[in-house]
C-alpha cells in the first residue's frame, strides 16, 4: 500500500474517532443538562384502600385510592404506577404515571391518588377487557425523602357539602393563612368515601385568590369530584380535605394589599369550580429569581465542550494530508 492510500485510510479513521467522540460528548451533555432525581422502591408508602370505575366522559378505566406515609421521615415525592388484572388473571393495561395529590408527605399523612388506564396503555390496544371483569390492580410504589417540610400555616376553618343543580357532589370551604408567610398557588384536594369508608372519588379546586395568600387572610374554594356523575353523588357519604401550596415566600408581593381578604358570601360561586377535563398538577416550588439554575450551568458547560469538539473536527476534515513525492 503506497503512502497516499495509507494516509487517506488514517485520515478516515481519525474522522471516525472524532465523530464517535462527538456523539459520546453530546450524549454525556444530555445526561449532565438533565440530572435525574433518584427514587427508590417505597418502604414507607402504603396503599390504604382503592376502588375503580369507568369514566363516563372518556370511557377509560380509572383507579382512585389513598396513600399513607408510614415512616418517620418527610417524603419529598410519592410515585405510584399500576397494572390491571382481569378475572382470568391476565394483565391487561399498565399505567406509568399517576397523579398523587401531595407536594410532600409528613409522617402518617395521607394523600389521594388518581390513576387512568386508556386504550393506548392497554396490551390489546383497546378497552374491551373491562367487560371481562376486574380482579385487582397491582400497585408499584416509589419514594424520595426530603429535609424540607411544607408550609404549615394553612388551615381549613369552615366547609360544607351539597349536591348542585347538575347532580354533582360539591364541597365549598374557607382556608385561612395563620402563618407569617405568603403561600403561592393555594388549592384544596378531597378524598370522597362511601358508607364502608372506601375511597370512591377524588376532587380538587382551582387556585384560590389571591395568587399569594397574605397572613391572617381567608379565601374561598369550591370543588367537585373528578369524573362527576349523579350516581357518584349518591355513593358519597363522607370526605376528607387537605390544603396544598405550590410554594411560599416570606416577602409581601406587589400584586395585592396585605390587608385581610373580605369574607365571601355563603352562596356557592362558580369561579373556583374545577374543570373536569384534567386533574390538577402540583407545580414545583418556584426557584429564586436571583439564582442561576444548576441545570443551566451544566448546559452551558456542555455546549462549550461540544463547540470545541466541533471546531477540532472541522479542522481535521478540512486539513488535507501532504503526499510524499518520489
C-alpha grid cell, residue 175:
382556608
* 134 and 189, same domain (yes or no): no
Q: Higher confidence at residue 177 or residue 269?
A: 177
Q: Can you give the residue range of the structural domain that contains 30? A: 3-36+292-318
Helix (H, G, I), strand (E, B) or coil at 131: helix
Is 62 contained in some domain?
yes
Span 23-76, pLDDT tens digits:
445 444 444 444 334 456 778 999 999 999 999 999 999 999 999 999 999 998
Q: C-alpha cell of 66?
A: 389513598
Q: Which residue has the higher pLDDT, 92 or 3?
A: 92
Distance, CA of 202 to CA of 226 (rounded, Å): 6
Residue 266 is assigned to a structural domain of this protein = no
Asked if 208 and 175 count as a contact pair (C-beta separation under 8 A), the reply is yes
More confident: 217 or 12? 217
Is 7 among the domain residues? yes
Same-domain pairing of 102 and 188: no
Question: Could you tell me the CA-to-CA distances from 270 to 5, 44, 76, 221 in Å, in that order?
Answer: 80, 39, 33, 10
**Cα separation values, 112 from 71, 129, 189, 267, Å:** 17, 26, 8, 28
Whether the CB-CB separation of 160 and 173 falls below 8 Å is answered with: yes
Are residue 44 and residue 121 in the same domain, yes or no? yes
Please state, in angstroms and as integers, the Cα–Cα distance from residue 84 to each residue in 80, 81, 133, 140, following that order.
Answer: 13, 10, 11, 12
Domain assignment of residue 274, yes or no:
no
Q: Is residue 269 part of a domain?
A: no
Could you tell me which residue, 134 or 270, shows the higher pLDDT?
134
Number of domains in the chain: 3
**CB-based burial of residue 207 (10 Å sphere; 0-12 exposed, 13-18 middle, 19+ buried)?**
buried
Report the CATH number at residue 107: 2.60.40.10
Cα angle 266, 190, 120 (rounded to 5 degrees) comes to 130
Identify whether residues 55 and 20 lie together within a single domain.
Answer: no
Q: Are residues 132 and 60 in the same domain?
A: yes
pTM for the full predicted model: 0.67
64: closest CA among 185, 194, 167, 171?
194
- Lowest mean pLDDT of 72-76, 111-115, 218-222, name the range: 72-76
Choosing from 115, 145, 175, the residue where a domain stops is: 145
pLDDT, tens only, 154-213 = 999 999 999 999 999 999 999 999 999 999 999 999 999 999 999 999 999 999 999 999
Whether residue 166 lies inside any domain: the answer is yes
pLDDT at 163: 96
Within a domain: residue 91?
yes
Please state the rounded mean pLDDT for residues 14-24: 51
Averaged confidence pLDDT in the chain: 78
pLDDT band at 294 (very low <50, low <70, confident <90, very high): very low
Out of 127, 145, 163, pick the residue that ends a domain.
Answer: 145
Query: How far, in Å, are 34, 63, 273, 309, 310 from residue 303 at the CA level?
Result: 13, 44, 46, 10, 10
The torsion region of residue 242 among left (phi > 0), alpha (psi -120 to 50) and beta comes to: beta
CATH number of the domain that residue 169 is part of: 2.60.40.3230
pLDDT at 310: 67
Concatenated DSSP letters for 82-103? EEEEETTS-EEEEES--EE--S
Q: How much is the pLDDT for 316?
A: 59
276 within a domain of the structure (yes/no): no
Is the pLDDT at 80 greater than 90? The verdict is yes
User: 180 with 235, same domain?
Assistant: yes
In this structure, the answer to whether residues 30 and 45 fall within a common structural domain is: no
Amino acid at each position: 500500500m503506497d503512502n497516499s492510500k495509507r494516509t487517506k485510510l488514517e485520515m478516515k479513521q481519525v474522522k471516525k474517532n472524532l465523530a464517535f467522540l462527538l456523539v459520546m460528548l453530546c450524549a454525556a451533555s444530555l445526561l449532565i443538562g438533565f440530572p435525574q432525581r433518584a427514587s427508590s422502591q417505597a418502604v414507607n408508602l402504603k396503599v390504604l384502600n382503592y376502588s375503580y370505575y369507568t369514566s363516563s366522559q372518556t370511557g377509560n378505566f380509572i383507579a382512585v385510592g389513598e396513600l399513607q406515609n408510614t415512616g418517620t421521615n418527610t417524603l419529598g415525592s410519592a410515585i405510584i404506577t399500576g397494572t390491571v388484572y382481569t378475572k382470568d388473571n391476565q394483565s391487561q393495561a399498565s399505567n406509568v404515571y399517576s397523579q398523587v395529590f401531595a407536594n410532600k408527605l409528613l409522617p402518617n399523612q395521607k394523600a389521594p391518588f388518581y390513576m387512568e388506564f386508556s386504550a393506548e396503555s392497554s396490551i390489546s390496544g383497546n378497552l374491551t377487557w373491562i367487560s371481562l371483569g376486574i380482579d385487582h390492580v397491582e400497585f408499584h410504589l416509589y419514594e424520595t425523602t426530603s429535609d424540607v417540610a411544607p408550609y404549615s400555616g394553612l388551615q381549613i376553618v369552615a366547609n360544607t357539602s351539597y349536591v348542585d343543580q347538575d347532580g354533582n357532589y360539591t364541597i365549598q370551604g374557607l382556608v385561612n393563612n395563620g402563618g407569617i408567610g405568603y403561600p403561592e398557588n393555594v388549592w384544596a384536594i378531597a378524598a370522597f368515601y362511601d358508607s364502608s369508608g372506601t375511597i370512591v372519588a377524588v376532587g380538587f379546586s382551582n387556585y384560590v385568590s389571591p395568587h399569594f395568600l397574605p397572613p391572617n387572610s381567608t379565601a374561598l374554594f369550591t370543588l367537585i369530584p373528578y369524573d362527576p356523575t349523579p350516581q357518584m353523588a349518591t355513593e358519597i357519604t363522607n370526605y376528607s380535605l387537605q390544603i396544598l401550596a405550590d410554594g411560599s415566600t416570606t416577602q409581601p408581593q406587589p400584586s395585592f394589599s396585605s390587608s385581610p381578604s373580605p369574607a365571601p358570601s355563603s352562596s356557592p360561586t362558580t369561579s373556583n369550580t374545577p374543570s373536569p377535563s384534567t386533574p390538577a398538577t402540583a407545580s414545583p416550588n418556584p426557584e429564586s429569581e436571583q439564582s442561576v439554575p444548576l441545570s443551566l450551568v451544566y448546559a452551558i458547560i456542555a455546549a462549550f465542550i461540544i463547540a470545541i469538539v466541533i471546531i477540532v473536527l472541522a479542522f481535521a476534515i478540512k486539513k488535507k494530508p501532504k503526499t510524499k513525492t518520489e
